[in-house]
Amino acid sequence: MAKKILIIEDEKTLRFLLAQSLIAAGFEIEEAVDGEEGLKKMRENKPDLVLLDLILPTIHGFEVLTQIKKDSSLESIPVLILSNLGQKEEIEKGLKLGATDFLIKAHFSLDEIVEKIKKVLSL
């Protein structure tokens, strides 16, 4: 059965490109355009991994991550932060809050992101 990835990203073009790359790699995709919708979809569908942007409408990515890690039914789901923010403090904060990894959008191609997800999921 295909692994399910939830993409929480408000930027439509990037969300579409990520979804297409992951579908091509054999993943099942769920999308959310803001933090609130992302948390709702996580609770309903329990994805195998979450790709989380930080700058989001409604609930900021760090707050989404905090809520995920406080919820015993969600806390074990790996979260990859995918953000344009890349200051040392932000990366440290993301990892401290429980993110599996922090990817800076400008530094990774779509293929590299797919490979990183496969690695995290041990595929």
Per-residue pLDDT tens for 1-26? 899 999 999 999 999 999 999 999 99
Note the pLDDT of residue 85: 86
User: Using CA atoms, how far apart are residues 82 and 115, in angstroms rounded to an integer?
Assistant: 14
Q: Are the CB atoms for 46 and 40 separated by under 8 Å?
A: no
List 80's β-bridge partners, or say none.
Answer: 51, 101
Q: How confident is the model at residue 123 (pLDDT cuts 50, 70, 90)?
A: confident
Give domain limits for the chain. Answer: 1-46+97-123
Q: Chain-wide mean pLDDT for the chain?
A: 95
| Domain formed by 1-46+97-123, architecture | 3-Layer(aba) Sandwich (3.40)
- Give the pLDDT confidence score for residue 42 in this predicted structure: 96
Dump pLDDT digits (tens) for 46-80: 999 999 999 999 999 999 999 999 999 999 999 99
Distance CA 19, CA 25 (A): 10
**pLDDT of 27 higher than 90:** yes
d(CA 43, CA 45): 6
From CA 45, how far away is CA 5, in angstroms rounded?
10
Phi, psi of 28 (to 5 degrees): -95, 135
Provide the pLDDT confidence category of residue 122 given band limits of 50, 70 and 90. Answer: very high
